[in-house]
A and B are shown apart, each in its own frame.
Chain A
C-alpha cells in the first residue's frame, strides 16, 4: 500500500479529487486508518466469522472506491466517521441479504487485512461487555489514530537518532496496567539516562505525539470545523 505523504491536507477532501492517483493515495490512507475498526465492528455487531468479516470489510472498501460513495459525504450534516459507519451498516445489511460471497468482494484484494492480528486484538478485549457499538467503533478508531501517531513518532525519533525518546514514551505512556508501569527511575536505569533526562525525553515525546495525532486527525477530517470538533472530543476517550 502506497504511503500517503505526511500532510495537513484532508484525505477526505482528496478522496473527491479529479486526479486518480491523488484519489487512490487518499483512499489508501483512509483504509489504513479504518480497516481494523471496520473489521472488528463487523465481527462483533454483525456477528460475522473472521473470514466473512474480512470479506465484508474488503467488499465495503472495494465498493466505496468503485462507487465513489465517500464522495457523497456532506461535512455539514455529520462527522465523516459517522457517515462511514452508516455506509458500512448499509453495506453489510445488503450483503447479508444477497448472501453471495462475490458480492461481498470475495476474491478481490483491495485492503491488506491481517485477520490474525485483528483476531489477536479481539481476544484481548472484553468483547462480551460491549453494549454500545457506536462507542466501540469510536474507541477502535481512536486506538487506530493513536497507533498511527505512535508509528509516526517512532519513525521520526529513529530518523533523528533519538530512539530513546520513543522507548521512554512506549514504556511509560503506551504501557498496559498502571501496576506494571515503570517509574522514571526504572526507565533511567534501563536506558542509562538520568531521571531528568527521562522527564525531558518524555515531555518532548508527548509534544511530538500530540502533533502527530492532530496531524493524522486533520487528514481524516473534511473541514476545519469538523477538525475543531474532533480535536475537542479527543479527550473524551
Chain B
C-alpha cells in the first residue's frame, strides 16, 4: 500500500508543473507574480539553484524574458535561459537572489537614511529601464528584493510594457494591470496613453510607506503621487534628486519649510562648523574673562 506521506508527496509532484525535457527540477514555490509562478528550481546541468518563472496559460508572454534580458543592470535579475514546457507554457530561468522583500526588510526596523538608500537604488533601476523605453507598471514593496549582501533588485517585470516611440504610451485596449494601492489614476482608468510617470506615481506610493512621518519625505511622496501626471516629478531622476536633497540636508522642492524648520535643518547640516565656531567663541570669551585686567 502506498503510505499516506507518499500520497501527499506524489500529489505535491502534480502541483508543480511538468518540467520534464528541461534541465530544471522544481524544488518549491517561491511566490506568485504577474502572469505566473516563480519556483525555486535546480539547474541539473550546472548543479545550481535558480529561480524559474513559469507563465500561466497565456501565449505570447515571451516578452518579459526578452525584455529583462535586454535590461542588463545590477538592479535587475539576469535571465539565464528561456524555453517552453511540454504543456506549452513558457518559462525562463533567472539568477536566484536570496534576501527579503522590501516590506519585510523594513519591518526589521531600519532607520530613515537606510530606507531611503534602498529607495534611491530602486529609482536608479527604474530610471535605467525608462531610459531603455520600458515602464514597470507594478512597482510596490513586494516587488523589491533586498539581498543578503545589500543588493537591491526590482523584480517581476511580468506586466512591464515598452513605451512606443510614436506616442510614448501604451496601445489602446491594453488590459488594466497593476496593484490598486500603487497604481496611477491614469493606469487605473485604463487610459490609452500612460507613460513613465505612472512609475513615478508608484514610487511615490512606495516612498510614502518609507517616509515614517518625516515631513519633507512625506511631501516628496505626495508630489510623486499627484493625481495629475503633469503635477508629479516629470522623471524618476527628478524624484530621486529631491530625496537626495533631503539626505544632503538641503531644502527639498516639494516641501515649503517654516522658519524654525529651516533653522533646524541648517543647524543639522552645518553641525560641525557651527560647533567649531561656538567652541571658538566660548573659549575666546573665557580667555578674555580670565585675563581681564
* Contacting pair B11 A142 (CB below 8 A): yes
Tell which of B2, B3, B8, B9 has the most Cβ of chain A within 10 Å. B2
Q: For B164, what are the chain A residues with a Cβ–Cβ distance below 8 Å?
A: none
Q: Which interface residue of B6, B10, B11, B18 has the most chain A CB atoms within 10 A?
A: B10
Chain A residues closer than 8 Å to B44, beta-carbon distance:
199-200, 203
Report how many A-B pairs have Cβ atoms within 8 Å.
65
Asked if residues A143 and B11 are in contact (CB atoms below 8 Å), the reply is no
**A residues near B11, Cβ cutoff 8 Å:** 142, 234-237
Q: Which residues of A contact B1 (CB under 8 A)?
A: 120-121, 124, 143, 147
Q: Is A176 in contact with B7, judged by CB distance below 8 angstroms?
A: no
Interface status of B20 (Cβ within 8 A of chain A): yes
B22 to chain A, nearest CB (A): 10
Which residues from chain A contact B6 at a C-beta distance below 8 Å? Answer: 146, 173-176
Instruction: With both chains docked as a complex, state the minimum distance between the C-beta of A221 and any C-beta of chain B, in angstroms.
Output: 15
Cβ-defined partner of B3 (8 Å) among A176, A207, A234, A236: A176
Q: Any chain A CB within 8 A of the CB of B5?
A: yes
**B2 x A235 contact (CB < 8 A):** no
Q: How far is the CA of A142 from the CA of B14 in the complex (A)?
A: 12
Cβ of A177 and Cβ of B5 under 8 Å apart? yes
Query: What residue in chain B is nearest A150 (Cβ atoms)?
Result: B2
Verify B20–A173 contact, CB threshold 8 A: no
B46 within 8 A of partner (CB): no
CA distance A146 to B6 in the complex (A): 10
Shortest C-beta distance, B40 to chain A (Å), equals 15
Contacts of B18 in A (CB 8 A): 207, 210
- Minimal beta-carbon separation of B70 from chain A (angstroms): 32
Residues of B contacting A174 with CB < 8 Å?
Answer: 2-3, 6
CB neighbors of B among A184-208 (8 A): 196, 199-200, 203, 206-207
Residues of B within 8 A of A66 (CB): none
Residues of B within 8 A of A210 (CB): 13-14, 18, 20
User: Is B15's CB within 8 Å of the partner chain A?
Assistant: yes
Please give me the residue from chain A that is nearest to B8 by CB atom: A237
| Chain A residues closer than 8 Å to B25, beta-carbon distance | 203
B contacts, CB < 8 Å to A: 1-16, 18, 20, 25, 44, 47
| Additional A-B contacts beyond A176-B4, A203-B44, A209-B10 (16; CB < 8 A) | A121-B1, A124-B1, A125-B4, A139-B7, A143-B7, A147-B2, A150-B2, A174-B3, A174-B6, A175-B5, A176-B3, A199-B44, A209-B13, A234-B14, A235-B14, A235-B16
